[in-house]
Structure 1
Amino acid sequence: MQMIIVDDEAHWVDNLSMNKPWHTLGIEQVHKAYSATEALQIIDTHPIDIVISDVQMPEMTGLELIERIRVHDKRIKCIILSGHSDFEFAKKAVQHKAVDYLLKPPTDQELFGAVKTAIDQLNTEWELISSLERTQYTLRENLPLLRGQLLLDALQGQRLSADEWDRKLGNYELPFSYGECSLMLVRLEEEFGQYKNNGQPLIEYAIINMAEEILGEFMEVWGVKEEHGYLVFLLQFKGKGTDIPKETILEKLSSQLQYKVKQFLKGSISIVITEWFRFPEQLQDRFRQASAYFRQIVGDEREFVMRVHDLETPTALGPLDALYSPPSFINLLEAGHWDAAEAKLMTVFTELDDQWPESWEHCMEAGFLISASYTHLAHTNGHTLSKLLGTDMEPLQNGEAFATISKLRKWSIGALGKLKEGTSNEVKDIRSVYVKKIQEFTDRNLHLDVSLRVLADHVNLHPTHLSKIYKIETGEGISEYISRLRMERACHKLKTTAKKVYEIGMEIGYMDPAYFIKVFKRQFGVTPQEYRDGNK
């Protein structure tokens, strides 16, 4: 900290500045001024924290000096020294917020005590200022997030008192007031699906900015993305007078937003607008109503602007027949009839398109049964559905797969392909295990009975089923494999051992030497002995 001592008596200034251990209080530099004018010049050029001034000086008194200082800096702490115990001087010093009023000559204890008080006040004030500045900076940096969270909480039903609303709207610089508002829900259509895992937040941010720019001329706009993926905008008309009805203006601007999004972001959006309601009391109810209306529009209709009251609920309902007619979807999956399962799905979606294009409940019914069937198949095969589907699990978890018939169709067919691939790989792995077991057993027991029946018993399968599995996996029959293995081993023994031909025949499973010789000659065109002689 820096301090200045002001007095027209030079010896006072020199003595106080040079002969006192100010550094023990944290004072880094002590300036000297022999008049109030000189003091003001020093204050203008140095970051002075504390002023110790005599009250009576020519040209300008110490009290007048404090008054001049206060014009430019209200934080400098001032201490008055006076040779007279004058009540009026002391009163004015208090009015100018002097830290203390000391009589000359002050004791070191009095003087150091006053300076210590000034330092404590400065530290407290600057800590508070620093904290407030940090808070304000943090608030400014996080303002979009705080605004969004406030609106999300309100949409989800969090109740705030009138005082809390006033305080938060003010703190977050939101120019909304109690009264007539509308909600606009925006759904990004399938063109934006390519940004799902890369760039989606930027697209959403761009659309929010475009909405604020287009709608902002006539109304206050407060936007956020809610948990189901909709962009939600709270709208309140400004005080501008116009002869055009509010509904007309809002629908026109909504169409303009659609056009600009398609023009610059290369994708389409659909919009649902609520009727006017009283903010904040009816905010949650209107949001629920708008969300429900969006869910009812589950057909292939897209890129629309619709007011809530424009949509009519279907009057006649009925069952979704294709879903439950035999064979059931889950039975087709269990049997591995993938083509039939896909055909079943297409029949279901054809019925949805033709008979229930605007019924979200029918779409949801189909989605729940399809996803439950997929889950059952995964668990039956010892897997989790999320493991088999990978990223395709996310639309199921957040409900996006059920949003429209088109989205459910796309998700269901894609998930079916992944299940087919995953379970097919698993079947192939199982076949490989059986083949390995058969070959290991045959290799160890070639001199014994390795008939198809014995091998099937070894792996607990029906002989016909085992034969079919082995053929699919290896491309040759089990009997062909055993014959080939016997001949390969016979050739090896004939070339590398001196064992008799009949001994080799018995070691590879031929109890009759004559039959072994006959089979060998049919395979290689020479007898075992001729083969041995030719390979010496």
Structure 2
Amino acid sequence: MWNLLVVEDETIVRIGLRYMIDWESRGVRWKAEASSGEEALRIVETEEIHIVITDIRIPGMDGLELAKRIKSAYPGVQIVFISSYDNFAYAKEALRLGAVDYLHKPTMDDEEVAGTLDKVVALLEETRGDKRRTAEGDRSGYLLSLLDKYTFPADPFLAEFETEAFASGYWLTVFRMRDDAVPSRTDPDSLRFLSVQYLIDEYVSRDWGGPVFHRNHREMIWIAPAKARRGAVDPAERSKYLEHLRHKVLELLNAAVIYSASSSYSRLNELPDAYMEALLQFPVNQQSDNFIVRKAKEYVDEHLLEDVTLTKVAAEIHVSPGYLSRVFLKEIGENFSDYVIRNKLELAQKLLRGTTKKVYEIAAEIGYTNPHYFSKLFKDRMGLAPLDYRNQ
């Protein structure tokens, strides 16, 4: 069933549209209504919406601007415009924004609305098929992209969430081997890691189901339906199950694992929150926050003269950008980007005082290709322009 949002400030028009056709017989659920663009945008950001039917003339943000913002953030959402104005310029702009149709309120009838709806559903079904093929083609990479807000797809799809098992929601568990090494793919340790993953996958598939995959041979992630195959299970039973699984891995493979689980979630777009919750509750050990931050700082120190970004460092130490950002702030007390900037500017201070290099040369040396940006950044942080700092 596809979820519909109708954006129309006239109550009588919303009521008329709602009872004009049998929406559910066409696979569409009348999910929400809004009377302004701002309200509609909030609904799209918090609810899972697939179709938006919007009047062009609505209070505040108009329908065209609303569509532009929705398409920018959620390109998979299908837009249909309605308007009292039979205006070619409106229709042209609507088509440019990728709208499926433009309906004229005074003349539209049930057949026209039903025909437009069928067209929208056909497009959504086609898109779902494309996403299904994409997800199956690179399953592991796609699953990983769902765990982080930095990589989360604009219009996510996961086949398991279409099944009855996940109808009540899901919870997520992260497993790690108890050591601080990050084995390479060719390392014998990575074969041991994959043996552990295989055992966990085999074990949970009998009792719960849900995908088991890994991130860079560093951690295993299991997304489990809220209900086990034998029925509902409370958090205490989940903990008992995970502890039993940990003992089973130790018994059969002589491998020690640690784990952390999230609480229950209901929507696919909450997966980054579930993953973050599990990571932030991880037992403190060499692989946890202190270790991650130490490795990140080492990388920054070694590559300070380069363009150092959160995403690049996270990839190097095999964690997600979102997780690195959170633990860095928690452990160091400042944002990752602020840490990098502070260290670069401290180096710039030494170069300004200890060399005769020009400002643009120093900017380039520490990774800033735009000397004007570097000078502004230096003044904002240090209170003086680079040359004033050198000459004081």
Which TM class, normalised by the smaller chain length?
0.3 to 0.5
Higher RCO structure (Cα 8 Å, ≥6 apart): 2
TM-score (norm 2): 0.37
Structure showing the higher helix proportion among its residues: 1
Structure number with bigger Rg = 1
TM-score (norm 1): 0.28
